[in-house]
Structure formats: structure tokens, C-alpha cells
Structure 1
Amino acid sequence: MRQLKRLLRPLKDPRASNVRHDLVEIIVIALAATLAGAKTCTEFEFFGKGREELLQRFLELRSGIPSHDTFSNVFRALDPKGLEAILRKLSKGFGIKGVVSIDGKALRGAFMRGRQSTPLHMVNVWAAGTRMALAQRKAPNRNEVAGVLEVLASLDLDGALVTADALHCRPDVAQAIRDRKGHYVLAIKSNRGRLFKAAKALLDTARRPARASQR
């Protein structure tokens, strides 16, 4: 808990100085609630009130459990990149090993007024072993590849195996993964021409049984 508090302290509090609830305590309660399956600010409050006595063992809670409105207002005002950077440092303690999946999704209904044909496009990074979301980025100008390159630059992938679909079977993505000390498995489609043929030939060669040496 001390380490978590130390990581969170540099996070800038966007609220006025006369607030009732400590920012670190708000985030700690929200994190604990999320690990327990909570997904909304109302559920954060419900979790906190149901476990207030337990939480008081390591949190002061001088003004009790924050309301769902407080949770909502705080997370709306927080710098998302600053919070993400801190949570990423925290996630290193879990040991990011095994498969890390990268995927891009267009969010249905998430678009600017008058631009229904261009919904918000997000890049998500998921650690399968720890079942943790490592990062999420808005793809700049709906360019998923650019979003993936941006998010890869912020991750420590030492020993991880990164998977992605055929869109990301590119030298720059592969190099970005290797630069972060990761390994990769990238899909290849037949429309990639020479690259697909070369990969297929390599696999076909690997499948052939070695000839017995002739004496």
C-alpha cells in the first residue's frame, strides 16, 4: 500500500484546495473496487461503503466513503495520460509475461455530431496472463497503425509475446516490439504477395522431415 500511495502522490489533483476526500484514497478505492468487478462510479461507492471498516485499516477516510458523484467528477477531471503512466508502473509489479494482445476497435455510437461515418477508433493492449488492460489509446485520425506504434513506445514488453492481426504485419510494428524487448506473432494474409509466399515456403520447409544422411 505504501508503494501504491508513493506512485500516486505525484498525480496532480485537478480539484480546489478545500476538497473533502483525498485524491489518493479515491483512486485506491476505485482500483480495489475494479479488481472486485465494479465498473461504474455507483459501484465504486457501493463497494467502499460495504467495506469501509476494512478500508480504514490502511486509509484515513476522514470524510467517509466518497459519493458516486465525487468519483465521477474526479475521474472526469484527471489527466488520463498521467494516471495511465502511474498505473503502468504499478502493473510492472504483476510481471507482464506471456501473451499480450493488441487490437483496434471502432466504438459504435462514439462520434462527433455530424460525423456519424467516422466513429472513435481505439487501440487496446491486453495482457492475457494477468487479465489486465495495459494501455488504451485513441488512434490518431483513426489510423490504427499509428496508434499501435504510439502505445508500443510506452510499454515494457521484456519477455512478452505480442500478437496482432494482419494489419500490423509491418516492419515498423515488428521493430517497435523488438525495441521494447518483446517477441511477436503477426498474422499474414494471402494478399501480401511475396511476403506471404516467403512465409509459406519457410513453414513448408520446416515441416519436411529431414532426410536420413547417406553413407
Structure 2
Amino acid sequence: MELIFSEIEDPRVERTRVHLLTDILIIAILSVIAGANGWEDMENYGLSKYEWLEQFLALPEGIPSADTFRRVFERINPKVFEGCFRRWVESIVETVGAQVIPIDGKTLKGSYNRTLGKTALHLVSAWSSEYRLVLGQVKVADKSNEITAIPALLELLDIAGCIITIDAMGTQTAIASQIFNAKADYILALKGNHPTLHTQVKDWFLARLAFGFEGITNSYDERVEKGHHRTEKRQVWCVPVSQLPLLHNHSDWVGLKCLVMVVRVRHLWNKTTREVQFYLTSLDCNALEEESRSQNGLNAPLPLTGVRIN
């Protein structure tokens, strides 16, 4: 970590460098990971963790003050810092072997400014489900720009050997190709933004479901989870694409191997809801793995009432 951040140029004049720049940056990052929200929190974190930090940091003059953290971060090059931070995160991912990477867009509440006419900030993020790490982020003007942001975000990451899950906004043939060509696999939510393909897949699955998938090669798994005064049952059917009739624009979906149907039934104290979702995947057919991965990356909230078939 120290070596990676040593690439950042120190903006301070020589005579004011009481603390090492790498010490300041590392303490700041670790404090933010621990929940720090400001410069004072960074200083307090350093003081409270001093004995641990001195095992791997120089700390020639102890812990920097809150004003020191503020002055340094006001003057360092943010682009260079972002690049170093991203390489550090990637080194962690490589070490721990993060496999499932959901990509999702979120609008940050309270980030708008009516006085200045600024809309809320919308970010597209890549997230390591298993290790709870944000691997990368791209800022976009609004949700409609996620389609252009996702390829840019994928370019920033080494996704080889990983499984990328994306909600319907990112279910695009070009994005599927980009993932597959980067030697990764994809699980893409299929909804109404591909009306012909979605209808074809939905009608086929529901017709076969009525007859218990008789005569169809498939993999099946189900789970029941209880908690917070609710019970949820998830059923997953995974079918090789060869079992279906020729799909609409089939050749455009590079690497496509299987279609997945997930049925979620949630029993609340006052109602029961049901949701059916479909996915395209380049993975081999295994319902248990698909169910687990669809939970991690694409487990959208269920509707409050009625039956919804996406």
C-alpha cells in the first residue's frame, strides 16, 4: 500500500514536511474505511490506533493534526490519487480472489443543490459482494447514461475470471461481448427493455413450468429464508440455451449458454408477494450457483402487492 501511494507528488514545500505524505494518506484511507467523516475523525482514528499504525508506518512526529489532513488533501492531484487508490483496491481483489462483481447505479440522496441548479449525483459502481469493497465508480449525469458508463467502468478493472452481474439497464449485447472478451462471465437481468426476447423467454419458461419442465434438460434449486417477520422462498430453474427455440438475435449475445428463471415468493405478516425474473448468462447450467449469484448481484426488492412478472 505504501509503495503504491508513494507515486503521489508531495505538494508541500520541503520545510513544512513534518509528516510523511504516505503516512498521511494511509491513515486517512484507513480512517474512512473505519467510518471517519471528516478531518477531525482522521486525527482521532490515528491517535486511537497509534500502537498498531506504528508497526508499519514511520510516524516521525506522531499522528498528523486535522488541519494537516485538510491541507494535504486540498492540494494533492485528485486524479493521481484516484489512480493510486484504484490500483491498491485491485491489488486487494487479486490477493483475496474476489469473484462476483455486481455493477449497479445509485443516485446519492441529498447530493442535489437547488440554489445552484445542480441535480443529484448518480454513480455507477462495481462492488465485490464477498468482501464488501467498492472496486470502481464512474459518475454520470443520470440513470439513462449508465449504458455508456458501464463499459468505461469495466475498462478500469481487471475482470478476468470474475462473474459480472448487471441489472436490466446494462443488459446490452455490446456489454456482454466486452465482458466475455475480457475472459469473464456475465449474469444479465432480462426485462422489458428487450421486449421481443423478454416475451419469448417468459412465454417459454411459463409454458414449461406448467408441465414441470418435462422432457427439458434443466437444473433446479430452491431455498427458504426466514427473518424480520417474513419468509422468502426462492426457486431457480436454469436451462441450456440449446433447449429453447432459436432466440431473437441469438447470435448477438456472445458467449450466451443458459437462461435462468428465478421465482421469489415472500410471505409478510399482512400479504404475500410473488416475483418472476429472468437472466441471461455465459455460465454453465447450475441452479444452485445461479441462485446464489443472482441473490448477491441482482436481488431487486419485491413489489409490495400483487404479482409481478418482469
TM-score tier after normalising by the smaller chain length: 0.7 to 0.9
Question: Could you tell me which amino acid in structure 1 is paired with residue 213 of structure 2?
Answer: R
CA contact 1:153–1:180 (8 Å) conserved in 2: no
Single out whichever of 197-206 and 46-55 deviates more from structure 2: 197-206
**SS state at 2:85 partner:** helix
Q: Kindly tell me: are residues 202 and 170 of structure 1, through their superposed partners in 2, closer, same or farther at Cα, counting changes over 3 Å?
A: farther
Counterpart of 1:107 in structure 2 is: 108
Tell me how far 1:147 sits from its aligned partner: 1.9
2:181 is aligned to 179
Question: C-alpha distance in 2, partners of 1:14/1:147?
Answer: 32
**Pairing of 1:133-152 with structure 2 (within 5 A):** 133-139=134-140, 143-152=145-154
Which of residues 40, 45, 48 is equivalent to 1:47?
A: 45
Decide which structure has greater helix share.
Answer: 1
**Displacement of 1:43:** 1.9
Q: Which residue of 61, 84, 91 maps to 2:59?
A: 61
| Cα distance in 2 for residues equivalent to 1:7 and 1:133 | 18
Call closer, same or farther: CA 1:79–1:182 in 2, change over 3 Å: farther
> Displacement, 1:96?
4.3
Which structure is larger by alpha-carbon Rg, 1 or 2? 2
Structure 2-normalised TM-score? 0.58
Shift of 1:128: 0.7
2:214 pairs with one of 186, 192, 209: 209
The aligned residue for residue 14 of structure 1 is 11
Q: How many residues align?
A: 207
Say whether 1:79 aligns with 2:77. yes
Query: Structure 2: which amino acid aligns with 1:79?
Result: N
Q: Secondary structure at the match of 1:136?
A: strand
Residue 45 of structure 1, CA deviation: 1.0
Q: Which consecutive unaligned segments of at least 5 residues does structure 1 have?
A: none
Structure 2 gaps, min length 5 = 217-310
- Asked whether the 8 Å contact 2:168–2:193 carries over to 1, the reply is no
Q: Confirm or deny that 1:95 pairs with 2:128.
A: no
Opposite residue 168 of structure 2, the aligned amino acid is: A
Q: Which AA in structure 2 matches 1:119?
A: A
Contact 1:98–1:160 (8 Å) recurs in 2: yes
Runs of 4+ aligned residues of structure 1 deviating over 4 Å after TM superposition are 201-207
Counterpart secondary structure, 1:33: helix
SS of 1:190 mapped into structure 2: coil
- Tell me how far 1:156 sits from its aligned partner: 0.8
Is the partner of 1:184 in helix, strand or coil?
Answer: strand
Once the two structures are superposed, residues 114-155 of structure 1 have per-residue CA deviations (whole angstroms, 9 ceiling, x without a partner) of 424x32222122111111111122116772222222111010
Structure 1 residues 109 and 194: alpha-carbon distance in aligned structure 2, compared to 1, 3 A threshold: same
Contact 1:14–1:77 (Cα < 8 Å) also in 2: yes
Distance 1:190 1:146, change over 3 A: closer
Q: 2:100–2:163: 8 Å Cα contact kept in structure 1?
A: yes
Percent identity for Structure 1 against Structure 2: 32
Contact 1:140 1:146 in 2 (8 A): no
